[in-house]
């Protein structure tokens, strides 16, 4: 499956700030690397990587309006944390504008919170978003090394950090993050027995 990466790049560049565009380029590169490593379609990973944050910089009002006008279902956590809506909105935009498949849309939908139904592409985009070269945090190299070794272990590490951070800040935690974390832990227990 081929996508016009140049067109998506141009749209993303014209839609997002320079900082967010640079991040999106980083995610595209990291998604390409991980797709090669884990045997996924590189062109699809690149297209999803560059487009994953296409709705990130919509205002809260624009996000709410888009969700209402396009009849996108949202949950209680997303009603409180409107920033999370960019994932579902981005997936919808990419479906309509670039004819992204359901698998590609899901990878965009799940890139922030994770989801227990993540396939390998969704895991790659989730991890690429957190491990791209422009990210700046203390244990980035550890997370990048984990991404190179095992996507599930990397996702678990990222989620554990996010959950602890949200608890410290007394923020809500999306149930999808808990569900994918538990699924990975339970699968790891099965393999150990």
HSE on the CB side for 126, CA within 13 Å? 30
Name the phi and psi angles at 116, rounded to 5. Answer: -65, -15
Which pLDDT belongs to residue 1?
63
Let me know: does 159 contact 170? Beta carbons within 8 Å: no
Name the phi and psi angles at 102, rounded to 5. Answer: -60, -40
pLDDT at 193 over 90: no
Percent above pLDDT 70 for the chain: 97
Compute CA 188 distance to the chain's CA centroid, rounded to the nearest angstrom: 23
**How high does pLDDT run on average in the chain?**
95
> Across residues 134-156, what is the average pLDDT?
93
Which pLDDT belongs to residue 188?
79
- Looking at 60-74, 96-110, 138-152, which range is the least confident one? 138-152
Say what the pTM is.
Answer: 0.95
Task: Transcribe 95-118 into DSSP letters.
Answer: HHHH---HHHHHHHHTTTT--TT-
Which pLDDT belongs to residue 191?
59
Domains, the chain, ordered by start: 5-192 (1.10.3210.10)
Name the phi and psi angles at 156, rounded to 5. Answer: -60, -45
Percent above pLDDT 90 for the chain: 92
């Amino acid at each position: 499956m081929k996508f016009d990466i140049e067109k998506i790049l141009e749209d993303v560049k014209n839609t997002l700030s320079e900082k967010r565009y640079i991040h999106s380029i980083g995610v595209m590169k990291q998604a390409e690397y991980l797709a090669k490593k884990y045997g996924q379609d590189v062109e699809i990973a690149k297209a999803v990587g560059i487009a994953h944050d296409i709705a990130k910089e919509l205002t809260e009002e624009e996000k709410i309006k888009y969700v209402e006008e396009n009849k996108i279902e949202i949950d209680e956590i997303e009603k409180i944390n409107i920033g999370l809506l960019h994932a579902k909105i981005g997936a919808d935009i990419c479906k309509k504008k670039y004819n992204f498949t359901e698998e590609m849309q899901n990878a965009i939908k799940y890139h922030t919170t994770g989801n227990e139904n993540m396939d390998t592409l969704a895991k790659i985009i989730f991890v690429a978003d957190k491990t791209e070269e422009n990210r700046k945090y203390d244990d980035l190299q550890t997370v990048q090394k984990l991404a190179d070794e095992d996507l599930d272990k990397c996702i678990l590490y990222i989620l554990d950090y996010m959950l602890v951070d949200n608890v410290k800040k007394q923020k809500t935690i999306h149930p999808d993050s808990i569900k994918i974390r538990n699924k990975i832990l339970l699968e790891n227990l099965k393999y150990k027995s």
